[in-house]
Amino acid sequence: NNRNFQAAKLFARKWRCNAVEPESDDKAKPIRNLPRKSDFDLALERLGSSRKRFITINLSALAIALGANFLGVTSSLLGMLPDRKGLYIIPAELTQFYPVGGWKRYIGDGEYELIYPANWLQDPAVVFSNQAGPED
What is residue 123's three-state secondary structure? Answer: coil
Q: How far apart are CA 10 and CA 13, in angstroms?
A: 5
Rounded to two decimals, what is the model's pTM? 0.52
Q: How far apart are CA 87 and CA 83, in angstroms?
A: 9
The predicted pLDDT at position 6 comes to 67
Instruction: Kindly tell me the sign of the dihedral angle through the C-alpha atoms of 76, 77, 81, 83.
Output: negative
Answer whether residue 21 shows pLDDT above 60.
Answer: no
For the stretch 65-111, pLDDT in tens is: 988 888 888 888 888 877 777 777 777 777 777 888 888 888 877 77
- Phi, psi values for residue 72, rounded to 5°: 75, 20
Q: How far apart are CA 128 and CA 19, in angstroms?
A: 77
